[in-house]
Chains A and B, each alone.
Chain A
Amino acid sequence: CPSRPPKVLGLQARALTPQTAETDAIRFLVGTQSLKYDNQIHIIDFDDENNIINKNVLLHQAGEIWHISASPADRGVLATCYNRTSDSKVLTCAAVWRMPKELESGSHESPDDSSSTAQTLELLCHLDNTAHGNMACVVWEPMGDGKKIISLADNHILLWDLQESSSQAVLASSASLEGKGQLKFTSGRWSPHHNCTQVATANDTTLRGWDTRSMSQIYCIENAHGQLVRDLDFNPNKQYYLASCGDDCKVKFWDTRNVTEPVKTLEEHSHWVWNVRYNHSHDQLVLTGSSDSRVILSNMVSISSEPFGHLVDDDDISDQEDHRSEEKSKEPLQDNVIATYEEHEDSVYAVDWSSADPWLFASLSYDGRLVINRVPRALKYHILL
């Protein structure tokens, strides 16, 4: 049973993240978007064995959530970008929050979704953006101690140090995009490679790489997409590879050492692609979400770190059978679309993999529907064996 019954949150939502620091339980955080009601952060727990979804709700009264990200070091810490409306002005701010201790590991038997008394997030600190403009996203240093975050605000890229157990955010360094017109970052990711010294950002049709030590540009892929670039992600196993997606309905894979041509281009969606995510362990699995309401899982094996499939360790080759099967799998495999998920009825703005189970992912559509899916078992065994 690869697909779970969709979970309707009841509010519009765009923000989804796995609880990054959690490696045992399958848990996602979803932020809602509502202008009329208090916004919430839903902590979605998926009980794999019993096939049950549990939900805890935290109030996020500061405003509607546009982006959410969880600390890689502390299960209880997360950052959101939210809209604050005041004096007929909308400003997108960012803040770091801590959830109540008892919710960190979720799993409460909440009797009823709506009636449970919602607890409130504890504000740790604001990322002061008065001088920089609207926050597009906040990204944590991957594999770090949860002390460094980068936020993108209009045309600024800001590196923050979280001090005093995250109660204070100090702007460590920053850089700005200069150029004609109003430049605005749409998205950014922090590379897990190179000692976490590289960040890639997207603005308009351009992808840029930054060195966080000097805050200077490393590479630039002009016209990476025909239209706006919506999202990007780093291959977790191949340090120069990244994927991007955008309004031209395409997903492109890049080798940042040669930025003139994409390594590969996928054109499976029929509308803007809002999200692209590599599987954290098996980088041939690429997940994309689009406003054509579809989620597509692709097997980009030819440009993955395992282009010949999973290689059996030497000491495993004890009998002939194994040996033969290994030889057979030496041929490069074909890239293909594994599955197209059509459970959503509205635009899908967020997809992500679970941090605990590499075969599981969640997708969130605007109408507040969260769907948790599994990688097809056949493919899973094919990759593993």
Chain B
Amino acid sequence: MAPGSASSPSPSFPALRPWAAVGAMAAAAAAGPSPGSGPGDSPEGPEGEAPERRRKAHGMLKLYYGLSEGEAAGRPAGPDPLDPTDLNGAHFDPEVYLDKLRRECPLAQLMDSETDMVRQIRALDSDMQTLVYENYNKFISATDTIRKMKNDFRKMEDEMDRLATNMAVITDFSARISATLQDRHERITKLAGGHRQVGPAVGLSWGSGANVTLRPPGVHALLRKLQFLFELPSRLTKCVELGAYGQAVRYQGRAQAVLQQYQHLPSFRAIQDDCQVITARLAQQLRQRFREGGSGAPEQAECVELLLALGEPAEELCEEFLAHARGRLEEELRSLEAELGPSPPAPDVLEFTDHGGSGFVGGLCQVAAAYQELFAAQGPAGAERLAAFARELGSRYFALVERRLAQEQGGGDNSLLVRALDRFHRRLRAPGALLAAAGLAEAATEIVERVARERLGHHLQGLRAAFLGCLTDVRQALAAPRVAGKEGPGLAELLANVASSILSHIKASLAAVHLFTAKEVSFSNKPYFRGEFCSQGVREGLIVGFIRSMCQTAQSFCDSPGEKGGATPPALLLLLSRLCLDYETATISYILTLTDEQFLVQDQFPVTPVSTLCAEARETARRLLTHYVKVQGLVISQMLRKSVETRDWLSTLEPRNVRAVMKRVVEDTTAIDVQVGLLYEEGVRKAQSSDSSKRTFSVYSSSRQQGRYAPSYTPSAPMDTNLLSNIQKLFSERIDVFSPVEFNKVSVLTGIIKISLKTLLECVRLRTFGRFGLQQVQVDCHFLQLYLWRFVADEELVHLLLDEVVASAALRCPDPVPMEPSVVEVICERG
């Protein structure tokens, strides 16, 4: 069937079970197709199904591995290769096969089969014999070879052992030698390597650092320099120990560049490392010294210089330098602040600014100078840092100064303040020039200006207070009970006192403020003090402001709510009115001229002209005087009104006397006349009054009365009275009762009397009079006429009003029988 398949494997080495393998292979070859046969060429013919083949293969594998036949046989066998009739099958049963052959085949065929079978068996036998022989030969030769090899290996192993021992010894020795030579070796290598490569290069960059010369210097010099390098660490250490920092820094400076350049070479690297360590220590010590700071600014500067030379970062040094300076300056500030203190016994302001000037400002100057010297190379950034530093500390200083100055605000001594400000300002000029960017000088000027303004405000306040104080004094003097026989200070005197007191206050203020502009004061030439201070500050703010406020204060008395009683004494109104009038006529222009002379006003600010101010003062005076008239008129009016309203005019008795209230009215009017006369001029009267006397008046009045009243008392017709009074009115001017007054006594008195008599008239018209009531009115009016004419500008006015009163009373009387004029006169003369 496939005899070639048995011969195809050709093992060169005997397998573990060569025979079994051979047998198995033979069996396999006998059992079915070779495992290598593809699925396509199925020799089985009718049953070529894949599962069948696989199972067959399994069967063969099982065969090969000697798995139980029974297992395979036990399986239900279909039409399978286990057919016992299959010659090549594993389950070939000769009996069955024979049976089958016998049963099925004819004899001829049987014979053929038998022949064929025998032939096959012989062929197989011979094949097997050949194979066994061949294999056996090969196996024998292999066994020989192996034996030989075993022999050789044993020899070699011995030699290897010896070699290993020798090598161990050698290694040991070598290690010992290396260890011994190591140190020296390394140094030599280092030196050799360094020397070899450095030589010419050092020559190039040595010698004042120029690499111009290409000619190598003498080897000797070179070596010396190398030696210097090698010795550098120790030298530095020594310098540091001795404190010769300068020397150390110089050495370091000289070597630095070279070391830097050749740092990639180990030998130089080492030197550089050493140097760096030492330098770091050096820097630390320098900083230490710098920080301790007790050594003072110059030494510090030296420290900084050295540190800079060591290449320390400049910014950091700036910071540190400034921080250090700050410490010292803050110390100064603290001491200043302590002087401020909560407790008043501080040194005076001059001393304070002196301290500040010498301590703080001086220190600041030093710092600034040193800084600029040391860090000049830092450029604008460094300058800016210093400026910021100065600004910050400066502002704190200014805050302190302002606090101190604020304490001065209350005080009165300007000269000390001005001197202090002068010092303060002067001292700040130096740092101002040094540190223009910090704006210290400007800030100082601002402070001075502010103080000056505040001073102005303070003086204005002071003037106001003085004015109010004067008013209070006047009130007190007016209210003081008059000691009998001893006249208190007259109004004129009071007025003079007030005026002079205010004027002296103004002058004092001017003088005090003038100190600010004195030539020797350092800030007096600043534009503010040359211009605005004089015109807006002193002239407008202080003087004009005060005069205005004075007018306002005075006017406020006119608007006081106590219209009824007048909380303000009338005399005060009168006095203020006169004061304002005096201001209008003279004082204002005097004060302003004085101001303009003292403060040569040079700027273009518009100033209030004298005329405007005068007009204001005049208006105030007029209002005050008008108010005075109203108040006094009201006082008398009230008396008259009460006297008319409260009396029972129908059942009054025949008049024997002038009523007391009329006497009172005359007395009060006289008092007012005296009062006004103290402050105001007489004024103009109509000509007729010039030669008037009591006597002529009485004649005059009696004749007039006769002629005027007679018809109305004997009424013939209801129209007569009215007609007469109307005709009479046609020829008289309308009386403006509350008319503006002029600045003279007569006008004032006229106003007061007009108001009073008009009130009397209106009150009389509201009552009804009996005969005696009318007569009483007659008497009263005559009495008033007797005494009031002399006070007024136009006595006709009094006549008219009194006539009107009597006429009205007559109208209000159901039984108007007038009293005989002679009797009236007698009663009035009796008093």
- By a beta-carbon cutoff of 8 Å, the part of chain A in contact with chain B is 10-12, 34-37, 83, 85, 88-90, 205, 223, 226-227, 248-249, 270-272, 291-293, 342, 345-347, 366-368
Chain B residues 499-537 with CB under 8 Å of chain A are none
B738 and A366: CB pair below 8 A?
no
A10 and B564: CB pair below 8 A?
no
List 4 extra interface pairs beyond A226-B563, A248-B563, A368-B722, CB under 8 A: A11-B722, A88-B651, A90-B768, A270-B738
Q: Mind listing 14 A-B residue pairs with CB under 8 Å?
A: A90-B650, A205-B564, A223-B561, A227-B563, A227-B564, A270-B736, A272-B762, A291-B762, A292-B736, A292-B737, A345-B729, A346-B725, A347-B765, A367-B722
Chain B residues 781-831 with CB under 8 Å of chain A are 811-814
A270–B736 Cα distance when bound, in Å, is 6
A227–B755 Cα distance when bound, in Å, is 14
B66 within 8 A of A: no
B719 within 8 A of A: yes
Q: Which residues of A contact B561 (CB under 8 A)?
A: 223
Closest-CB distance, A329 to chain B (whole angstroms): 35
Closest-CB distance, B306 to chain A (whole angstroms): 82
B811 and A83: CB pair below 8 A?
no
Closest-CB distance, B469 to chain A (whole angstroms): 30
One of B739, B758, B811 near A291 (C-beta < 8 A): B758
Q: Which residues of A contact B765 (CB under 8 A)?
A: 347, 366
- Chain A CB within 10 Å — which of B715, B722, B734 has the most? B722
One of B563, B719, B811 near A10 (C-beta < 8 A): B719
Select from chain B the residue with minimum beta-carbon distance to A89: B650
Select from chain A the residue with minimum beta-carbon distance to B649: A90
Q: Which residues of A contact B738 (CB under 8 A)?
A: 249, 270-271
Select from chain B the residue with minimum beta-carbon distance to A368: B722
B718 within 8 A of A: yes
Given A10-B719, A85-B814: A270 touches B726 (CB 8 Å cut-off): no
B770 within 8 A of A: yes
Q: Which residues of B contact A272 (CB under 8 A)?
A: 762
Residue-wise, chain B 714-727 has the 8 Å CB interface mask toward A (1 for contact) of 01001100100110
Q: Which residues of A contact B730 (CB under 8 A)?
A: 345
Select from chain B the residue with minimum beta-carbon distance to A37: B718
Chain B residues 323-345 with CB under 8 Å of chain A are none
Q: Which residues of B contact A271 (CB under 8 A)?
A: 737-738, 758
Given A11-B718, A270-B737: A35 touches B726 (CB 8 Å cut-off): no
Residue-wise, chain B 724-748 has the 8 Å CB interface mask toward A (1 for contact) of 0110011000101111000000000
Q: Which residues of B contact A248 (CB under 8 A)?
A: 563
B420 within 8 A of A: no
A293 and B718: CB pair below 8 A?
no
A329–B725 Cα distance when bound, in Å, is 48
Closest-CB distance, A367 to chain B (whole angstroms): 6
Given A35-B813, A89-B650, A366-B765: A345 touches B718 (CB 8 Å cut-off): no
B634 within 8 A of A: yes
Chain B interface residue count, Cβ-Cβ cutoff 8 angstroms? 28
A88 and B719: CB pair below 8 A?
no
A35 and B722: CB pair below 8 A?
no
Residue-wise, chain B 747-790 has the 8 Å CB interface mask toward A (1 for contact) of 00000000000100010010010100000000000000000000
One of B563, B564, B734, B814 near A293 (C-beta < 8 A): B734
A20–B738 Cα distance when bound, in Å, is 35
Given A35-B768, A226-B564, A248-B563: A10 touches B715 (CB 8 Å cut-off): no
A293–B762 Cα distance when bound, in Å, is 12
Q: Which residues of B contact A292 (CB under 8 A)?
A: 736-737
A83 and B768: CB pair below 8 A?
yes
Closest-CB distance, A328 to chain B (whole angstroms): 36
A367–B658 Cα distance when bound, in Å, is 29
Select from chain A the residue with minimum beta-carbon distance to B732: A345
A104–B813 Cα distance when bound, in Å, is 33
A333–B493 Cα distance when bound, in Å, is 51
B737 and A88: CB pair below 8 A?
no
Q: Which residues of A contact B812 (CB under 8 A)?
A: 35
A85 and B768: CB pair below 8 A?
yes
A367 and B725: CB pair below 8 A?
yes
Given A37-B718, A226-B563, A270-B739: A367 touches B726 (CB 8 Å cut-off): yes
Q: Which residues of B contact A83 (CB under 8 A)?
A: 768
Select from chain A the residue with minimum beta-carbon distance to B563: A226
Select from chain B the residue with minimum beta-carbon distance to A249: B738
Given A35-B812, A271-B738: A345 touches B650 (CB 8 Å cut-off): no
> What are the 9 closest A-B residue pairs judged by CB atoms, nearest first?
A226-B563, A35-B814, A88-B650, A271-B737, A88-B651, A270-B738, A345-B729, A90-B768, A270-B736
Q: Which residues of B contact A249 (CB under 8 A)?
A: 738
A11–B650 Cα distance when bound, in Å, is 22
Chain B residues 109-166 with CB under 8 Å of chain A are none
A345 and B726: CB pair below 8 A?
yes
Q: Which residues of B contact A36 (CB under 8 A)?
A: 715, 718, 814
A346–B724 Cα distance when bound, in Å, is 13
Closest-CB distance, A58 to chain B (whole angstroms): 17
Select from chain B the residue with minimum beta-carbon distance to A184: B645
A205–B638 Cα distance when bound, in Å, is 14
One of A34, A88, A90, A347 near B762 (C-beta < 8 A): A347
Residue-wise, chain B 463-493 has the 8 Å CB interface mask toward A (1 for contact) of 0000000000000000000000000000000
Q: Which residues of A contact B650 (CB under 8 A)?
A: 85, 88-90
A35–B811 Cα distance when bound, in Å, is 8
Closest-CB distance, A179 to chain B (whole angstroms): 16
Closest-CB distance, A60 to chain B (whole angstroms): 15
Select from chain B the residue with minimum beta-carbon distance to A369: B726
Chain B residues 650-706 with CB under 8 Å of chain A are 650-651
A342–B718 Cα distance when bound, in Å, is 25
Residue-wise, chain B 618-652 has the 8 Å CB interface mask toward A (1 for contact) of 00000000000000001000000000000000110
Closest-CB distance, A226 to chain B (whole angstroms): 3
Q: Which residues of A contact B718 (CB under 8 A)?
A: 10-11, 34, 36-37
A270–B734 Cα distance when bound, in Å, is 11
Q: Which residues of B contact A88 (CB under 8 A)?
A: 650-651, 770
Closest-CB distance, B329 to chain A (whole angstroms): 60
A227 and B762: CB pair below 8 A?
no
A85–B722 Cα distance when bound, in Å, is 23
Closest-CB distance, B751 to chain A (whole angstroms): 11
Select from chain A the residue with minimum beta-carbon distance to B717: A10
- Chain A CB within 10 Å — which of B564, B739, B813 has the most? B564
A161–B736 Cα distance when bound, in Å, is 45
A83–B767 Cα distance when bound, in Å, is 10
A274–B357 Cα distance when bound, in Å, is 76
A226–B725 Cα distance when bound, in Å, is 32
Closest-CB distance, A41 to chain B (whole angstroms): 16
A34–B730 Cα distance when bound, in Å, is 23
A272–B634 Cα distance when bound, in Å, is 12
Select from chain A the residue with minimum beta-carbon distance to B729: A345
Q: Which residues of A contact B563 (CB under 8 A)?
A: 226-227, 248
A221–B561 Cα distance when bound, in Å, is 14
A12 and B726: CB pair below 8 A?
no
Q: Which residues of B contact A223 (CB under 8 A)?
A: 561, 564
Q: Which residues of B contact A347 (CB under 8 A)?
A: 762, 765
Q: Which residues of A contact B811 (CB under 8 A)?
A: 12, 35
Q: Which residues of A contact B726 (CB under 8 A)?
A: 345, 367
